[in-house]
Amino acid sequence: MLKVNIHKVFPGITIDVSFEFGRGFLVLFGPSGSGKSTILNCISGLQQPDRGSISLNGKGFFSSSDKIAIPARSRRIGYVFQDYALFPHMTVKDNVMYGIPDRCKKGKGYRVGALDLMQMLKIEQLQDRYPGQLSGGEKQRVAVARALMVEPDLLLLDEPLSALDHTNRKNLQIELKQLQQAWNIPFVFVTHSRREMHMLADEIIFLERGKKQTYVFPAVRSSGLNLAY
Amino acid sequence: MLEPILLSLKVAVAAVAVDFFFGLGIARTMARKEFRGKNVVESLIILPMVLPPTVLGYGLLILLGKRGPIGRFLLETFDVQLVFTWWAAVIASAVVSFPLMYQSAKAAFAGVDVSLEAAARTLGAKELRIFLTITLPLAWPGILAGLVLSFARALGEFGATLMVAGNIPGKTQTIPLAIYFAVESGDTDAARNLVLVITLLSFAAVFWLNWWSRKKLHVWKKGDSSRAESEYP
C-alpha cells in the first residue's frame, strides 16, 4: 500500500495531495503544470515535500513530523523518466544492469534475470547498442527494463509514451499493462492524455493546479477494461 | 638544451595535477550550487587569466616570500622556502593555467543532464559511484580539453615564473625563460631550437585533443549526435 500526503509550495502553485493506493495501475491525470511530476519526484525521493508523509507497504520514506527522509537510492522505487534518461555512454546491457549491485554481477557477467527481462521487453538483440542508436520506442523499453532490474516495490512512469508515434504508443500501452500484471507491483503513471488514461487506469487521480479534483475508485476497472482489446 | 625541456615538462605536469585536483572539485561545486556572492567568487577564479602574469608573480612573491603570511609559516614550521625553487615555478604555472582547467570542467559538468544523475539515484547508486560512472565520464571530453589547454599554458608560463622562481639554470630555468635569456645573450641557435621544441610540444597536445574528441564522438553516436555534440566544448 502506497500512502502519500504531500504539501509543497512553489512560487505560483501549491501542491496539496493525499491518496492511498494498493495495487494495479494508478494514473495521475492533469494538464502540464498541475504538479504530476513533482508528486512522482517526492515519492521517489528526488525531491522532498515541505510537509507530509510518504510510505510504501508500511515502510516510512518521508515524514515531516518524525523528521524522516530516506534517500532515493534506498527506496527501491523504479522510475521511468519522461525523456528516459538513459546513460548515453553505456550500452543497452550496461544501462539495464546499472542498478544491480556489483556482488550480483560476478560470475557469468549478468544474472539470468537480466536476460529474461531484456527478452520480455524485446530488447535482447539491442544489448550492445548505445542509446543514441535506438528509436524512441526502443529507448522506452530499455528505460523500463533498467527500472525493473532493481526489483522495485513500485514503478513510477512519467509520461513515458509522450514522444512516441500512435502505433508504438498503443503497443506499449498494452505491454505496460501486461507487465504490471506479470510483475504484480503497483505502477503509478503520469499522463495528460485522456485516451491513455482510459486504456491503462485501474484508478485515476485528476489533478488541477496541485490539488486532487475527483477520485475515481475502481469504476474504470469494472467497466470491462481487459487485455483483449 | 635538454635540461630546460625536462624541467618544463616536470613543472607543467605537476601544475596540471594541482589544477586537476582543485579544478574538478571547485568546478563541480560551482556548476551545481547557487549561493550568494557566486559571481564574485567566479570572477576571482577567472582573474588570473586576464591579469598580467607579472601582477600574479608580484602577488605570489608577497604571499610566499620570507615575510609573506604563507612563506613565513612554511619557513618557521617546516623550515621550507618555496621562492626560487622549482616548486615556486609549479605554483606560478598552476595559478596562471587554473582558469582554463576550471572553465572547461565547469562547462563540462554543467552539460551533464541532471536527470541522468537522478536516474542513477533511483537505481540505488551512491553519490561517489554516480560521480565516477555517470558525471565524470560524460564530462570527460571537456575535462580533458581543460587538462590539455592548461598543460599547454603551464608549459609556456614566463612572467610569474620569472618573478617567483627566478632564472636558475637546471633548477628553475624552464623553456620560455631559457629562450628569453638565450636571445638576450645572443645565442640564437639555442633559442631557435627551444622555440621549435615548445611549438611542437604545444601543437602535438592540441592536435591530439582535437583528434581524440572527434574519434570519441564517432564511437558513441552514429545516429543521433546532437546530444553528444553539446557536451563537447
Å between A226 CA and nearest CA of chain B: 31
Residue B225, chain A, CB below 8 Å: the answer is yes
- B201-231 as b/e, with b when 16 or more CB fall inside 10 Å? bbeebeeebeeebeebeeebbeeeeeebeeb
**Mutation target among A43, A95, A98, A140 for the B interface, most CBs of B within 10 A:** A98
CA-based end-to-end distance of chain B: 36
Between chains, do B113 and A85 touch, taking CB under 8 Å as contact?
yes
Q: Are residues A93 and A116 in the same domain?
A: yes
Q: What chain A residue is nearest to B228 in terms of C-alpha separation?
A: A88
Determine whether the interchain pair B122/A130 forms a contact, defined as Cβ–Cβ distance below 8 Å: no
Q: How confident is the model at residue A104 (pLDDT cuts 50, 70, 90)?
A: low
The H-assigned helical ranges of A106-165 are 112-120, 136-148
Number of domains forming the structure of chain A: 2
Could you tell me the pLDDT band of residue A102, with boundaries at 50, 70 and 90?
Answer: low
Do B124 and A79 lie within an 8 Å CB cutoff? no
From A46, A79, A88, residue closest to B227, measured CB to CB? A88
* Chain A neighbors of B222, CB-CB under 8 A: 132-133
Domain membership of residue B72 as a residue range:
2-230
What the block records as the C-alpha cell of B57 is 608573480
Structural contact between residues A173 and A198, judged by C-beta atoms closer than 8 angstroms: no
Q: Give the range among A22-36, A46-60, B209-223 with minimum mean pLDDT.
A: B209-223
E strand or H helix at A212, and its extent?
strand A211-216
Name residue, grid cell 570572477. Answer: B43
pLDDT score, position B230: 38
Mutation pick from A89, A94, A103, A138 vs chain B, by most beta carbons of B within 10 Å, is A89
Domain end marker among A135, A151, A167: A151
Distance in Å, alpha carbon of B135 to nearest chain A alpha carbon = 10
Same-domain check for residues A211 and A168: yes
> Mean pLDDT, to the nearest integer, of A25-52?
88
In a domain, A166, yes or no: yes
We report the CATH number of the domain holding residue B11 as 1.10.3720.10
Can you tell me the mean pLDDT for B4-28?
92
Contacts of A132 in chain B (CB under 8 A): 220-225, 227-228
Geometric angle at alpha carbon A217, from A76 and A50, rounded to 5°:
50
Return the ∠ at Cα B188 (arms to B86 and B150), rounded to 5°: 40
Task: Note whether B71 and B180 are within 8 A (CB).
Answer: no
**CATH classification of the domain holding A225:** 3.40.50.300
Q: Are residues A67 and A93 in the same domain?
A: no
Residue A219 pLDDT exceeds 60: no
- In the DSSP assignment, the letter for residue A74 is G
Neighbour-count burial for B113-149, b at 16+ CB within 10 Å, e otherwise:
beebbbbbbbbbbeeeebbebbbbbbbbbbbbbbbbb
Q: Are A176 and A209 members of one domain? A: yes
Strand partners, A203: A26
pTM for this predicted structure: 0.80
A165 and A98 in one domain? no
**Percent of chain B scoring above 90 in pLDDT:** 55
Domain that holds residue A140: 87-151
Whether residue B46 contacts residue B153, with contact meaning beta carbons closer than 8 Å, is answered with no
Whether residue A2 sits in one domain with residue A67: yes
Per-residue pLDDT, B121: 93
**A15, A57: one domain:** yes
The answer as to whether A81 is a domain residue is no
Sheet holding A59-63, edge to edge: A68-69, A59-63, A51-56, A2-10, A13-21, A211-216, A203-208, A25-29, A187-191, A154-158, A77-80
Q: What gap in Å lies between CA B153 and CA B148, rounded to an integer?
A: 9
Considering just the CA atoms, what is the radius of gyration of chain A in Å?
18
Q: How many domains does chain B have?
A: 1
Asked if residue A82 is part of any domain, the answer here is no
Which of A129, A151, A173 is a domain's end point?
Answer: A151
